[in-house]
Amino acid sequence: MRLEGKTAIVTGGASGFGAGIARKFVAEGANVMIADLNLAEDLAIELGSSARAVITNVAQGASVKSMIEATLESFGSIDILINNAGTTHLPAAMEDVSEEDFDKVFAVNCKSVYYTAKHLVPLFKKQGSGAILNVASTAGVSPRPRLNWYNASKGWMNTATKAMAVELAPDGIRVNAINPVAGDTPLLKSFMGEDTPEVRAKFLSTIPLGRFSTPEDMANAACFLCSDEASMITGVCMEVDGGRCI
């Protein structure tokens, strides 16, 4: 019960890493608002009275504001924010990625962090506490070819994490990130371009521990970084990657 009495928002919480984090946080005693483009009502029902679901487009400021208002209405407070929602473009030469895909990647992966900060940091400052966790990627540390603009967006997220941590530390707000290696989530096929045994084997060959990451891997790291056990940790971008970035 390391998160007992705390309330968390998990963006992109309907599936993949986000759903894993939501399940872990409820198991550790937190109330969780599952925010996603797709209404996660089934997951909220599964998790019981400690969970709610709200439709949110993190690339739109008004939608993020409504998400925060809905969380306060449901639970009365907010202590933790997980910026997990993310997207990618399909593997392609950097000059062949469309402007539309570029804009979408940076709106969802980067501008969303601006929006959540704009609408939630004032509340955290007022209460003198808060934990923000940004879900970045090993692609932002050790880029993969043909995912150039996705790599760049996650590198941005790591730098933003450190900048936010330095600025918000005097207000009692901690900001960290995790850098997951590829997991068997809905985004995996988009990263690979095609889902075949050969392509999967190629991806796995870059991970020393020899397996894809799981939602549980990310949830365990997120739980620690957002708990009081990590009260002296801020500005860290933790690689949860089976050794890929060594």
Q: Which residues are catalytic?
A: 150
139: tokens are 């692609």
| Size of the chain in residues | 246
CA 120 to chain centre: 16
1 vs 227: CA distance, rounded Å: 10
Per DSSP, what are the bridge partners of residue 80?
A: 8, 131
Nearest to 116 by CA among 94, 133, 98, 100: 133
User: SS3 for 103?
Assistant: helix
Using CA atoms, how far residue 54 sits from 29, 127, 138, 193, in Å, is 20, 24, 29, 30
192: tokens are 């690979």
**3-state DSSP: the chain helix, strand, coil percent, rounded to 5?**
50, 15, 35
192 vs 30: CA distance, rounded Å: 35
Using CA atoms, how far residue 8 sits from 18, 30, 64, 193, 200, in Å, is 12, 7, 14, 33, 34
Residue 137 has phi, psi (to 5 degrees) of -175, 155
